[in-house]
Amino acid sequence: MIPEIGHYALINALCLAVILAVLPAWGAWRRNTTAMSLAPGLAVGQLVFVAISFACLAAAFLQDDFTVKVVASNSNSLLPPMYKFSALWGNHEGSLLLWALILCFWTTAVALLSPQLPMQVLSRVLSVMGGIAVGFLSFSLFTSNPFERLLPGSPVDGSDLNPLLQDPGLIIHPPLLYMGYVGFSVAFAFAIAALLGGRLDASWARWSRPWTNVAWAFLTLGIMLGSWWAYYELGWGGWWFWDPVENASFMPWLAGTALIHSLAATEKRGLFKSWTVLLAIFAFSLSLLGTFLVRSGVLTSVHAFATDPARGMFILLFLAIVVGGSLILYALRAPAVSSRVSFAWVSRESLLLFNNVVFLVATLTVLFGTLFPLFMDALGQGKYSVGPPYFNAVFVPLMALLAPFMGLGPVSRWKGDTVARWKGELGISAAVAVVCGLTLPLLGADYNLWVALAALLAAWLVLGLVRDAWYRVRGASSLGSGLRRLTPSYCGMLLAHLGFAACVLGVVATSQYNVERDLKMSPGDSETLAGYTFEFVELAPVRGPNFVADEARFRVTKDNELIATLAPQKRRYLASGSVMTEAAIDAGLFRDLFVAMGEPIGSDGAWAIRLHYKPMVRWMWLGAILMGFGGFATALDKRYRRQRRTATASAQGVLHGA
Amino acid sequence: MNRFCVAALLLMSCFVMPAAAVIETYEFSNEELEQRYQDLSAELRCPKCQNQNIADSNAPIAQDLRKRLYQQLEGGASDGEILDYMVARYGEFVLYRPRFSGATAVLWLAPVLLLLAAIVLALLVLRRRKDSGERTGGELSVAEQQRLHTLLDESESGS
């Protein structure tokens, strides 16, 4: 019964979405206040129904209702309850429902948090988001119904959730990632609403900017969690693989990064308006493209797509409508909104433009590299693989090119600046950064040129930021009051840029100084790696709630001092019989020690063991967390609320006048 | 496990195959060979797998390729010879770093061309911004003035 209620609620949600997509937009066009005023209510109703639907599916999972197909194929009665719940989005149908839920959540958030928005604008924004919801809800209902029953002949027990997904990180990773992915739909909706209304001004940028920053922050955290999960759960110590599915989430992030910077120029200076709109369309289209790539099976091979084309065709069609429709609208409307603001070569505007150049090229390169094998295969030009060596070769120089200019950005002035002033402001920083670059790698195992370059660039970024923040804070009566002078959006920028510097340092140091050994070890053996002695103490059988495991117990010592005891496991899951490696990690700010078990070798109790020494690997994720928090911080800025209030006044004026 | 599982994670794709760890314990005659083994096994794609290099895959063919790679390294083959051998047997598909050729030229040149094009575009924008600032300095052009008038007329008749 419960699944049927969920199914019914989902149908209701689709109906509301259709009304939301049509009625308020019509109202905005015909200036029908009644039709427009329905929009927030429709948005809330849509959220309520999708939430009911989601709750019903969650109930089916938690109650082990194996008559429901997705539950039978993705859950098991032995599964711990929290994984039964997260199993909901560990599959195609359920993850689409989560996507729809988050979309409705964003729609409702826009509806409730911006009563200050002019009614026409709000109606158009909500209608566009309703349109997107129509697409996803009908995709869910017509091609991947999560409530499909297996009757008669439902299994006694389910076939279990993939053990890889049975991890706390995986409970929060997909929702965070989707919050980011889907959050770009808000930026997209604002852009389309602005094009429809023909009013692309600074207020438009001010409205959509906090939403975009928050979505970007979620996406940053989501990607970071994914990378972290890959690192500890996959058992290999790798943290980024340039896999097409990873790229699918990385491309919107790159485009989103360009977008939040371009929005800054649009809001502050009324610049690059049509370009910013295009970026907003681009970022969301990449989110949709990612969905298409992952959901259609086209990545597996072009032929897999052809054998079961329903889902793929649906998304492809939806993608074509969204991208095609918005580009046509853009072509019709954008030239009418070009701005006429001037700025000098040496200015913050130029630097933001350069940021956009780099991130756009990075996005397009990742896109091209990801799609290249598909194109070649589809055109019958042979099979090619484009993997990490290619992406690293392209991506690393681009980021290295970005960093020098990125250090200038925060200290530069709008409209016009002078190189002489930059020299005065940053001369000392530059000198200190060079010294850092020359000396910091001496702390590592051997002097490494890449690490030197990374240290130089990171120091350049950090010193520039610190100096700029200091200039803003000093002169205040106390440090506290000085710090209060910094606006949330400035602090957000500060955090995000510091995070980027930490990321650069972490990525380069861990790639260059990483030490990895694959060994045959028996209990009693020990091995020394980067000064740490790993002693294999004993092997013991262990039992978990739904698995049995062999556990290897290691003692790690350095200079005869106990550093950590590590216990990697080799698990066999009872329901599916699949075998999994659980790595053991001793995490530290400056180094991680990592042990994973391979296969038993021979009959004398020896195992294949992987030992890793990974310096500064945490910096990468800490950096990403800083970036994420930076994104959230910017949205707290008072000016968004204050300006909205003035917007209310003028909007009311307009409405009364009309 | 594999790169493909990462895939699963990132968007919860529905076809994940859990796999056991692959840890080979070859004894190399020197450290340089071990390093080259690690580098090459990360750049060679397992021909039968979803999207995995031979270092991470435990498919029989990947084990076989790792063994061949080990034998060839110990036998004194150069990186180029090993890659040629692999391509001869499994095609270009086996290389994660596609070789520069007529077919892949566009792949390798695209980033450079894109960067150049984007920079040229940005420079054009910069020049136009600077010029327009100097020339018109905030004054409206004739066409814009006409547009302003029509807009004003419209709003008057509309209200």
pLDDT of B49-98, one tens digit each?
777 888 888 788 888 999 999 999 999 999 999 999 999 999 899 999 99
| Residue A252 and residue A290 in contact, taking contact as beta carbons nearer than 8 Å | yes
User: Does residue B8 sit in the same domain as residue B40?
Assistant: yes
User: Does residue B36 sit in the same domain as residue B67?
Assistant: yes
CA dist A360 and A379 (Å) reads: 26
In the structure encoding, which two tokens stand for residue B107, read together? 């792949």
Hey, which residues 92-131 in chain B have their CB within 8 Å of chain A?
92-98, 103-104, 107, 110-111, 114-115, 118-119, 121-122, 125-126, 129-130
User: Does residue B18 sit in the same domain as residue B73?
Assistant: yes
Cβ–Cβ below 8 Å for B136 and A340: yes
Residue B90 Cα, gap to closest chain A Cα (Å): 10
User: Does residue B42 sit in the same domain as residue B90?
Assistant: yes
User: Does residue B61 sit in the same domain as residue B120?
Assistant: no
Higher pLDDT residue, B116 or A339?
B116
CATH number of the domain enclosing B61: 1.10.8.640
Sheet architecture: strand order including A584-586: A515-521, A606-615, A591-601, A584-586
Q: Does B66 touch chain A (CB under 8 A)?
A: no
User: Does residue B15 sit in the same domain as residue B52?
Assistant: yes
In the structure encoding, which two tokens stand for residue A339, read together? 């701005």
Instruction: List, run by run, the mean pLDDT of 10-residue segments along chain A (658 residues).
Output: 94 97 94 92 96 96 93 90 91 91 96 87 95 95 92 84 82 91 95 88 87 96 91 79 88 96 90 90 93 75 63 87 94 69 85 95 95 89 90 93 92 88 88 90 85 94 92 81 86 95 94 88 91 93 91 93 93 85 90 90 86 93 96 87 51 40
User: Does residue B83 sit in the same domain as residue B7?
Assistant: yes
Cβ–Cβ below 8 Å for A248 and B134: no
Q: Among B25, B27, B46, B135, which would you mutate to test the A interface (most chain A Cβ atoms within 10 Å of its Cβ)?
A: B25
Residues from chain A contacting residue B115 (CB–CB below 8 Å): 357, 361, 398
Query: How many distinct structural domains can be found in chain B?
Result: 2
User: Does residue B79 sit in the same domain as residue B115?
Assistant: no
Closest CA to A87 of A68, A115, A100: A68
Q: How many helices (H) and strands (E) does chain A have?
A: 21, 10
- Residue A110's pLDDT is what? 95
| Residue A415 and residue A269 in contact, taking contact as beta carbons nearer than 8 Å | yes
Cβ–Cβ below 8 Å for A596 and B159: no
Residue at B39 is within a domain: yes
In the structure encoding, which two tokens stand for residue A2, read together? 């419960």
Is B32's pLDDT higher than 60?
yes
User: Does residue B145 sit in the same domain as residue B82?
Assistant: no
- Residue B20's pLDDT is what? 46
- Residue B97's pLDDT is what? 92
Residues from chain A contacting residue B21 (CB–CB below 8 Å): 235-236, 570, 581, 596-599, 608, 610
User: Does residue B112 sit in the same domain as residue B136?
Assistant: yes
pTM given for the model: 0.90
User: Does residue B87 sit in the same domain as residue B142?
Assistant: no
Residues from chain B contacting residue A384 (CB–CB below 8 Å): 92-93, 98, 103-104, 107
- Residue B5's pLDDT is what? 39
Direct distance between the N- and C-terminal alpha carbons of chain B, in angstroms, rounded to an integer: 68
Listed in sequence order, the residues at least 6 apart from B154 whose beta carbon sits closer than 8 Å to its beta carbon are: none
Q: Does B148 touch chain A (CB under 8 A)?
A: no
In the structure encoding, which two tokens stand for residue A463, read together? 């010193």
User: Does residue B75 sit in the same domain as residue B126?
Assistant: no
Picking from B65, B94, B123, the residue at the C-terminal end of a domain is B94
ipTM of the complex: 0.85
Cβ–Cβ below 8 Å for B25 and A601: yes
Q: Does B11 touch chain A (CB under 8 A)?
A: yes
Surface-to-core class of residue B134, CB atoms within 10 Å of its CB (0-12 exposed, 13-18 middle, 19+ buried): exposed
- Residue A621's pLDDT is what? 95
Q: What size, in residues, is chain B?
A: 159
Residue B28 Cα, gap to closest chain A Cα (Å): 11
Range A17-33 burial, b when 16+ CB lie within 10 A, else e: bbbbbebbbebbbeeee
Domain locations along chain A: 1-166, 185-419, 515-618
Residues from chain A contacting residue B24 (CB–CB below 8 Å): 518, 608
What residue type is assigned to position A423 of the chain? K
Q: Among B129, B130, B140, which would you mutate to test the A interface (most chain A Cβ atoms within 10 Å of its Cβ)?
A: B129
- Nearest CB among B7, B21, B104 relative to A235 is that of B21
In the structure encoding, which two tokens stand for residue A432, read together? 């200190």
- Residue A649's pLDDT is what? 46
Which residues span the domain enclosing B145? 105-158
Residue at B99 is within a domain: no
Q: Among A357, A520, A522, A546, which would you mutate to test the B interface (most chain B Cβ atoms within 10 Å of its Cβ)?
A: A357
Residues facing residue A411 across a β-bridge: none
Is B25's pLDDT higher than 50?
yes
Q: Does B150 touch chain A (CB under 8 A)?
A: no
Alpha-carbon dihedral of residues A455, A457, A459, A462, nearest 10 degrees?
-140
Token pair 């195959």: residue: B17
